[in-house]
Structure 1
Amino acid sequence: MTRSTSHPPQHRRGGAVVFLLCFVTIVFDGYDLVVYGSTVPTLMAYEPWDLDSAEAGFIGSFALVGMLIGSMTVGLITDRFGRRRIMLWSIAWFSTCMLLTPLAPNEHIFGALRFLTGIGLGGVVPTCVALTIEFAPKGRRNLANAVMFSGYSVGGVGAAVLAIALLPEVDFRVLYAVGALPLITLLPIAYRYLPESISYLARTGKEDLAVDTAHRYGLVYGDIVTTDQLPDGSAQPQSSMRQLLSPRWRRSTVLFAAANFCGLLLVYGLNTWLPQIMRSAGFALGSSLAFLLVLNLGAIVGAISASYIADRVGVQKVVIASFSIAFVAIFLISLNLPAGLLFLLVAVAGFGSVGTQILVGGFCATHYPQHLTATALASSLAVGRIGAICGPILGGMIASWMLGYQVNFYVFATVAVLGAVVAASVPRQMSDAAITSGTEKPPARVDAELVRDDQ
């Protein structure tokens, strides 16, 4: 049945609203996670808690365990509740937990609140990526996702800057209280202006509203929703998770989970332990925190530039190159080099770790049909969170075993190589016609069709 798409021009609004809301949400996501790495040296020096390296590493992993649970939960309930409600619930959840964290009387309650914060944070990442991809112009989806997700590094920069400015003068709890700001700033605005996913509306039988939403946001409805996604009333639609584990998508689903494992291990391993590692290498507290600042600045510049290229040459090639760059930069940081060169290498490592993880999210989101993106992102990130959990724990174990700070970089460089291999193994998409007939087109022709689809 043909739907009318003619509406008065004054109803049209740009997808920038969705982009900005997702960007600000990810800024706080990045702040709430990186703030722990910014405060690790202070926490370990806090006498009432008497934390050693291993204990600090385990506490650092608690938020990431919570994110694993949050991501898994979102993957299971997205089809039922929709992306808008999940995002609002997640913002309210993590902001409330950040408000309570400064009140923790001991390290055990502090760790429990970090875990609960992670549950909320785990829900916003796949939801923000899926909404940004859906409401972005089709030929600029990787770039839009990279700019949006660079908010993570903006939040990381904010955490490092506040730590440098405030920690010598105030209690570390003040930095955690800042993470509660979305409760009174972002949440009311998101409740008023965030639209529901067009794909979700179509799949739940609200096609007229889905068409209207696409028109109001200046989108081509057919670019987002295809006829095979719509309920025909003859049978229950197959769940997104079941489709991801079907023969067509199973290999991609496993490999994206592995790519997220490698990317997130690098992101949270470096963001948690880089200041303490550089202190072990002989740098003062201010200088060691400056390395964390440079790491996230490098991620912002590198990820946006690389995603601009990815929209033109293919995101898979850029992800492979980015993991490879991370390997070289991280390995070189382990050498006894001048401070200026180390700062440059840390910036490059920021692109190769945090920046590459941004690209992996865009790669995953654009690899699958739109109606599968939220579940694909949530499920792959849920498995990838195991890598995020391992990053802080590995750093703490290496420090407690007194193996030398260089071993941290050797481990992270090895993970970057594995990430490049996994990314290279993700199969190219086949057209529906090829799936139906059991044939696959030559690679060059497939690449050409995918490039046309993204334009």
Structure 2
Amino acid sequence: MSLTSDSATSTVHPAVKNPLIITILCWCTMLLDGFDLVVLGAAIPPMMEDDRWDFGPAQATMASTAGLFGMMLGALVISYLTDKFGRRRVLMLAVVIFSAFTAGLAFTTNITLFVILRFLAGAGLGGALPVCISIVTEFRAVSKAGSASTTLMTGYHVGAVATAFLGILMIKPLGWHSLFIAGAAPALILLPAMYFLLPESPQYLKSIGKDAEAERIATEYNIPIDDELDKKHATEVNNNSTFKVLLGPTFRRNSLAIWGTSFMGLLLVYGMNTWLPQIMRDADYDLGNSLAFLMVLNIGAVVGLIVAGSLADKHSPRKTALLWFVLSAIFLGLLAIKLPIAGLYAMIFLTGVFVFSSQVLVYGFVGENHPSSVRATAMGLSAGIGRAGAISGPMLGGLLVAQGIAYPWGFFAFAAIGLLGAIIFSFTRTLKNRTTSIEQV
């Protein structure tokens, strides 16, 4: 039985539980991702001044890179486990891994152990993002995959800003160790809340044959349980391994395009976040303005996520992502033009609106266009391969800065990457019948 909220359908059951709590729990998990983005940058200066170890720029680079490699591995492995063992249990496991090893960072001044712990913490957190997007997509209805992903990622940026403020408040009186304890502490509340309030995805339950339990949860939350792609590709999914499905004739073209686009998207995000202040310094702006540019860029990101999610639900994540990548390329190129300070702030804000949302819309496309039994793995491959771009972005920016050509060529290089992302993503094709799914919501 397909559950819908169409007033003309008599089989609708009134919702007795609000799926908003699921979004909130996953949004809080994304706060931890935002924390991890900023925490090392905030802690590195006092860590380098700590006489108990010889922690210098090389060691800081190792720790940062280890965390990114851990995220890449976690996205690939944990998301695969999600399609095998369920969204709920694996998401809780990811939070436990991240929080336990992040707490461990506060209690060591051994550089080798610190780097290992950063890698393991990253592995836990890297798996959380694709799982969160998968489960929220399924409880918000697949036709709202665009806003599901963008809503969650606002938590990422809020977490980044909050961690910067925590660093200002805590590091001087309590030391750099306190910041890692603060990053692990939310699990003490988040995990019990997940245990009691986070249900398993009914789509996943149905995919493993637990139809009665799936029907019960779908009825409680008044969400569709019958997914068009699950029915259409049931034979293909049931007779092949997950990776054979994703690289099979139906999904191969999308898979390759998604992986290439994700690489470009996260290269832009991490490259711009890492090097924008220095590029603007090379353009003869003072340090105060250069740091303010980074803040405005991320404020634009939050606005862009909200707008992009709404448009994606209405017009599809694919169409919106293509537009967003093209506009990212245009505004990145325009940053190379000398403007009055007010105009430059406006240009950077608009750049933030498009650059950060582009990759998130790719996640929305993945969520909408894959059967539930392979959705988390597809999401994890997108995020995991994208993390390789996250590693490459700072390297590209650093190379341009070292060569003394970051301004204006850094902006031209990032603009070219945005355009290349649009070109690669244009090879995808929408598999979901959006008209039918929207009518069922």
Which bin holds the TM-score, normalised by the shorter protein?
0.7 to 0.9
Moved more, 147-156 or 20-29: 147-156
Contact 2:67 2:123 in 1 (8 A): yes
Structure 2 residue ranges without an equivalent (≥5): 5-9
1:319 is matched with 321
1:297 is matched with 299
SS at match of 1:220: coil
* Counterpart among 389, 392, 409 of residue 390 in structure 1: 392
Contact 1:202 1:230 in 2 (8 A): no
How far the C-alpha of 1:64 sits from its partner, in A, is 1.4
2:139 is matched with 135
SS at match of 2:422: helix
How far the C-alpha of 1:103 sits from its partner, in A, is 3.3
* Counterpart among 122, 146, 152 of residue 148 in structure 1: 152
Moved more, 260-269 or 310-319: 310-319
2:7 is matched with none
Alignment coverage as a number of residue pairs: 433
Report matched runs for 1:398-413 at 5 Å. 398-404=400-406, 406-413=408-415
User: Deviation string for 1:86-139 (max 9, x for gaps)?
Assistant: 100101111122212233425544433322221011110110010011000454
How far the C-alpha of 1:145 sits from its partner, in A, is 2.5
Contact 2:325 2:358 in 1 (8 A): yes
User: Is 1:249–2:251 an aligned residue pair?
Assistant: yes
2:106 is matched with 102
User: Is 1:451–2:414 an aligned residue pair?
Assistant: no
Aligned-partner residue type, residue 265 of structure 2 = G
Contact 1:99 1:179 in 2 (8 A): yes
Instruction: Return the alpha-carbon distance in structure 2 between the equivalents of residues 254 and 118 of structure 1.
Output: 25
Report matched runs for 1:56-455 at 5 Å. 56-57=60-61, 59-105=63-109, 107-163=111-167, 171-223=175-227, 226-227=230-231, 237-278=239-280, 287-404=289-406, 406-429=408-431, 449-455=433-439
User: Deviation string for 1:235-276 (max 9, x for gaps)?
Assistant: 965332221111111010010011110111112222233345
Contact 1:291 1:346 in 2 (8 A): yes
How far the C-alpha of 1:194 sits from its partner, in A, is 1.0
Structure 1 residue ranges without an equivalent (≥5): 432-448
Residues 115 and 406 of structure 1, relative CA distance in 2, 3 Å threshold: farther
Instruction: Return the alpha-carbon distance in structure 2 between the equivalents of residues 101 and 260 of structure 1.
Output: 30
How far the C-alpha of 1:354 sits from its partner, in A, is 1.8
Instruction: Return the alpha-carbon distance in structure 1 between the equivalents of residues 316 and 103 of structure 2.
Output: 42
How far the C-alpha of 1:282 sits from its partner, in A, is 5.5
Identity rate of aligned residues, in percent?
34
Give the TM-score normalised by the residue count of structure 2. Answer: 0.86
Instruction: Return the alpha-carbon distance in structure 2 between the equivalents of residues 242 and 186 of structure 1.
Output: 35
Contact 1:262 1:418 in 2 (8 A): yes
Give the TM-score normalised by the residue count of structure 1. Answer: 0.84
Instruction: Return the alpha-carbon distance in structure 2 between the equivalents of residues 306 and 10 of structure 1.
Output: 30
SS at match of 2:106: helix
Residues 344 and 60 of structure 1, relative CA distance in 2, 3 Å threshold: farther
1:17 is matched with 21
Residues 170 and 351 of structure 1, relative CA distance in 2, 3 Å threshold: farther
Contact 2:92 2:194 in 1 (8 A): yes
How far the C-alpha of 1:377 sits from its partner, in A, is 0.6
Instruction: Return the alpha-carbon distance in structure 2 between the equivalents of residues 38 and 282 of structure 1.
Output: 25
What is the CA RMSD across the aligned residues, in angstroms? 3.4
SS at match of 1:221: coil
Contact 2:141 2:223 in 1 (8 A): yes
